[in-house]
Amino acid sequence: MAPSTLDLFLELCAIPSPSRKERAVADRVGAYLTELGLDWDEDDAAARLDGDTGNIYCRLDATNCAGTPIFLCAHTDTVPPEAAIEPVVEDGVVRNAAGTILGSDNKAAVVVMLEAVRRLLDERRAHAGVELLFTPQEEVSLRGADAFDHTRLVAKTGFVYDQGAAIGEIVLGSPHARLLDFRFHGRAAHAGMNPEDGRSAIAAASRAIADFRLGRVDSETSASVGVISGGTARNVVPEWCSFTAEVRSQDERKAIELVREMLESAAFAASLGECEVESEVRPSFPGYRFKESDAPVQLAANALERAGFEPSYALSGGGADANVFNARGLECVNLANGMMEIHTPAEHIAVADLEAMVEVTLALVDAAAEANPA
């Protein structure tokens, strides 16, 4: 007998699965698919991404139905937990009793996909084709989805459940993101005996950071400095200082302009401190934008209404696997699934929302079966 939605969710949450160390969760997903009698495979992304888990792919061929095939995607990794994970149910809400993340991001989606497919098979529901994809390393710049051969997908319309908000919210857009790495090089000297001979890389880097526009830059744009390191000892003028930053914007032009501004600020701060700076800018993930009238969005709204939810629309400040698929010419919509305060020790999700998202998924399959082929 298959475990209940809640039992499977508690089981998966209790398994730590930070990016690159997702093997146990992937094995459980594969075993579940096998128990359902489904064929599945895992690609070679683990080796290519220096991890232990590849993309797990499973296809259910269409029944006698001429609707729109869809794919569903969830990721098997989480941000790194900082303690044990002890999921508990309190007043109908699943939390972690051990003071770190719960892992509902994205194990809630994993469980919902598996349970929905189990019911799809048990109830012999007609469908136009359903594909399942479980990706690794989503939390580190969507690397698993990026490594997946998207041409394997028959469906051109997909859905991920990776938005921390109340069920009903449909994500119409996600930002363009850039990663920035800075390394300041000064000159070491004894801080007490001859500090005037030194050139502080930390002071120069700090001046640059102080000049950056960080946080909520405008309604579409944000920037952050997340990690900084440097120096060797408290009595040595620091020769090196490095820090990492990111920029996100719904408007790609704004992202590019803010990156340029930060590079110029870093160069100016380095010159004032008589230091040198090396900088690197890398793409993190591409943004996208849907309209409410777009067919995949209308399909999602139809399914939500069938399941008893009022659709609402929002822009996300985060990235998801949907970004990768949209950049590759597919249409992939991100739906909120009720997980709250993700990436924090306060992360939680209501049991009722887990069950509700199963109903939303089945409604999505039904609506797609009735839709005109894309």
Same domain, 218 and 266: yes
In what side-by-side order are the strands of the sheet with 276-285? 215-218, 221-230, 240-249, 176-185, 276-285
Structure tokens at 173: 């857009």
Rg from Cα positions in the chain: 23
The last residue of one of the domains, among 254, 285, 316, is: 285
Structure-token match 């006698």, residue found = 64
Residue 314 near residue 77 (C-beta atoms within 8 A) = no
Residues 50-109 have pLDDT tens digits of 999 999 999 999 997 789 999 999 999 999 999 989 999 999 999 999 989 999 999 999
Tell me if residue 358 falls in helix, strand or coil: helix
Same domain, 32 and 80: yes
The last residue of one of the domains, among 285, 302, 324, is: 285
- Share of residues in the chain with pLDDT > 90 (%): 95
* Mean per-residue pLDDT, 216-226: 97
pLDDT value of residue 374? 56
Same domain, 21 and 157: yes
pLDDT value of residue 195? 96
Residues 111-158 have pLDDT tens digits of 999 999 999 999 999 999 999 999 999 999 899 999 999 999 999 999
The last residue of one of the domains, among 262, 285, 308, is: 285
Which positions ≥6 away from 225 have C-beta within 8 Å?
209, 212, 214, 243, 244, 245
Residue 241 near residue 184 (C-beta atoms within 8 A) = yes
Q: Which residues are catalytic?
A: 77, 138
Compute CA 61 distance to the chain's CA centroid, rounded to the nearest angstrom: 28
Confidence of residue 162 (pLDDT cuts 50, 70, 90): very high
Residue 241 near residue 228 (C-beta atoms within 8 A) = yes
Same domain, 59 and 162: yes
Same domain, 68 and 158: yes
- Share of residues in the chain with pLDDT > 70 (%): 99
Same domain, 35 and 150: yes
Structure tokens at 146: 């990026």
pLDDT value of residue 151? 97
Residues 3-43 have pLDDT tens digits of 899 999 999 999 999 999 999 999 999 999 999 999 999 99
Report the interhelical angle of 252-272 vs 201-211 (nearest 10°).
140
Q: Which amino acid is at 272?
A: L
Residues 238-290 have pLDDT tens digits of 999 999 999 999 999 999 999 999 999 999 999 999 999 999 999 989 999 99
Same domain, 227 and 276: yes
Same domain, 121 and 206: no
Residues 298-309 have pLDDT tens digits of 999 999 999 999
Same domain, 129 and 31: yes
Q: Which domain holds residue 81?
A: 5-174+287-370
Q: How high does pLDDT run on average in the chain? A: 96
Q: Please give the tally of structural domains in the chain.
A: 2
Q: Is 354's pLDDT higher than 70?
A: yes
Q: What pTM was estimated for this model as a whole?
A: 0.90
Centre a 10 Å sphere on the Cβ of residue 345 and count the other Cβ atoms it contains: 16
Same domain, 20 and 87: yes
Centre a 10 Å sphere on the Cβ of residue 198 and count the other Cβ atoms it contains: 19
pLDDT value of residue 175? 95
Ordered DSSP codes for 34-101? HHTT--EEE-SHHHHTTSS---EEEEE---S--S--EEEEEE--BSPPSS---EEEETTEEEETTSS-
- CATH code of 182's domain: 3.30.70.360
pLDDT value of residue 66? 83
Q: Is the dihedral of CA 316, 322, 327, 331 positive or negative?
A: negative
Tell me if residue 336 falls in helix, strand or coil: strand
Alpha carbon distance 71, 305 (integer Å): 20
Same domain, 33 and 134: yes
* Helices and strands (H, E) in the chain, number of each type: 10, 19
Q: Is the dihedral of CA 97, 99, 105, 110 positive or negative?
A: negative
- CATH code of 162's domain: 3.40.630.10
Same domain, 243 and 332: no
Centre a 10 Å sphere on the Cβ of residue 54 and count the other Cβ atoms it contains: 24
Confidence of residue 372 (pLDDT cuts 50, 70, 90): confident
Alpha-carbon separation of residue 3 from 21, 59, 133 (angstroms) = 24, 22, 21
Q: Is 1's pLDDT higher than 70?
A: no
